[in-house]
Amino acid sequence: MLSPTTSPPFAFREGAMFLIDKPRGWTSFDVVNKLRWRIRKHLGVKKFKVGHAGTLDPMATGLLNLCVGPWTKKLQELEGLGKGYTGTIRLGATTPSYDAETEEDTHYPTEHLSLKLLRQHTQQFTGLIEQVPPMYSAIKVDGQPLYKRARRGETIEVKARSVEVSQFDLSNFTGASVDFAISCSKGTYIRSLAHDLARAAGSGGYLTALRRTAVGPYRVEDAWVLEELLEAISV
């Protein structure tokens, strides 16, 4: 297990891992770029390696593991770890991206939904399952990310992939939304789980909130707020 860096002085040249709580609206690459720029300025160098283990969508918040310097070679050790998430599913509608990044395109009834019914349907999405990733994803087909094709209005058949969901708990059902807590394997699309669960229950659904709470043994409670880390580096 790699030990995260929690306080200065930072061993950038020797290599280090930082746990960062990614802000909403930032891409994972935005965080990498911001940290790389600050480290380069701090060290007075033109180039410096920074990488992350596991992309988070811009809408999502939560744990992002970043390795710097020689430790970027250790990213593969982190990428295969299981993930933990919490979030909210809006019920009764769908979007092309399966989250709130795109506009609602279809509406569905919700009167028949209940927490009990939804919980019954989570069973078919627990364990080893076959999952079809959303069209709005970074998966490449013929060398091009699917989301670029989706934005052009193209429809591509996306192959299902095997993923494992070890926990799929629901709570705080309001009729219009429901909260969840999920533990899953690498490569699981939470947007697809939200969409598929609502469809199985005879309605529609998409993510309005998503937060990564864990990557293997690492927890978001131990993560840096990005601005506080940047400030600590500049000291």
User: pLDDT for 164-223, tens place per residue?
Assistant: 999 999 999 999 999 999 999 998 999 999 999 999 999 999 999 999 999 999 999 999
Parent domain of 32: 16-80+216-234
- Indicate the DSSP class of residue 203: S
**Is the residue at 1 inside a domain?**
no
Helix (H) or strand (E) holding 213: strand 205-215
| Same domain membership, residue 147 and residue 137 | yes
How many domains would you assign to the chain?
2
| Same domain membership, residue 193 and residue 116 | yes
Give residue 169's pLDDT.
98
| Same domain membership, residue 195 and residue 208 | yes
Residue 57 known to be catalytic: yes
| Same domain membership, residue 119 and residue 69 | no
- Among the listed residues 21, 57, 99, 196, the single catalytic one is 57
| Same domain membership, residue 196 and residue 101 | yes
Q: For 108-163, where are the alpha helices, taking DSSP H only?
A: 115-122, 146-151
**Is the residue at 3 inside a domain?**
no
8 A C-beta contact, residue 201 and residue 92: no
What the block records as the tokens of 198 is 């609502």
**Is the residue at 100 inside a domain?**
yes
The model scores a pTM over 0.85: yes
